[in-house]
Structure 1
Amino acid sequence: MDVLINVFVGLHIIGIASLLGGFLTQMKAMGAGTARFTPAMLHGALTMLVTGVLLVGFNEMDGSPVNNVKVGVKLAVLFVILALVYVKRDEERVEKALFGAVGGLTVVNIFIAVLWH
C-alpha cells in the first residue's frame, strides 16, 4: 500500500506543478493584462482533485490517521480554483485580480499541505 500511496503523492505533486507552472508562465502576460488560463492549469487542478481524493481513501484503507478538517479546507480551496479556471478557460483574457487569485490560492493550498500537521 505504501508504494501505491507514494505513486499518488507523486501524481498529486505533478498536478500542483502543472497548475502553478501554468500560472507562473503567465506572470508577464498578467502584468500586461493578457493572461489566460491554460489547459495545463485546468488539467493540473483536476489531477490534484482526483489524486487527493484517492490519497484520502488509500490512507483510510491503510489505517493511517487522516485530518479531515485539513482535507476539507484543501478541498474547498481547490474547488474555488477549479471553478474559476473552468468558467474562464475559454476567455482570451482574464482579469489580473482573478488570475492572481488563482495563483495565490494555489500557493495557499501548498502551504496548507506542508505546514498544517
Structure 2
Amino acid sequence: MFILTLRRKKEGNLWKTVYQKVLCACSSMSSGREELASWDFSFPPDKPTSLYPRSWTYYSIPEFSFTLCIRQVSPDSSPVTVFIIDAENRSDVHLQVSITFTFRNGTGYQKWCSESVCKADIFEENDGSSL
C-alpha cells in the first residue's frame, strides 16, 4: 500500500502538508481498526491496468493539477517486484512529493493476524507542528 503526501513551501524553509491519502480503494481497511483510524482511505479506484507480468495505476488529484502513475513489474517468475513511480505536477506551484510504501509484517503462518501490530504515530516538524 502506498501513501501519497504533497507539501507546499511556506515562508523560509518551512513546508506545509496540503494533501495526504492512502492510494488504495479499500475504504474498509480502516473500519474497526483503531490503529488505522487516522489514515485517509477515501481515494477512489482510478484506471488500474494490468498485463502480466506488469500492472499500472494512474492517480489524478485535480485540485493540485497532479498526476501519479505507479507501475509494477515482476521480473520472470521470481517472488519480487519493482515499483516505478512517475509524478507530474502541471501547476505553477512547487510541490514536494513523498510516497511511502508500507505492508503488513507476517510469516505466512495461518494465524498471522497475531504476528504483528499495526500502529500510526504522529510525526512533528522542528517547529512542533504535526504532519
Q: Report the TM-score when normalising by structure 1.
A: 0.30
Higher relative contact order (CA closer than 8 Å, sequence separation 6+) = 1
Q: Report the TM-score when normalising by structure 2.
A: 0.28
Structure with the higher fraction of residues in strand conformation: 2
Q: Higher Cα Rg: structure 1 or 2?
A: 2
Structure with the higher fraction of residues in helix conformation: 1
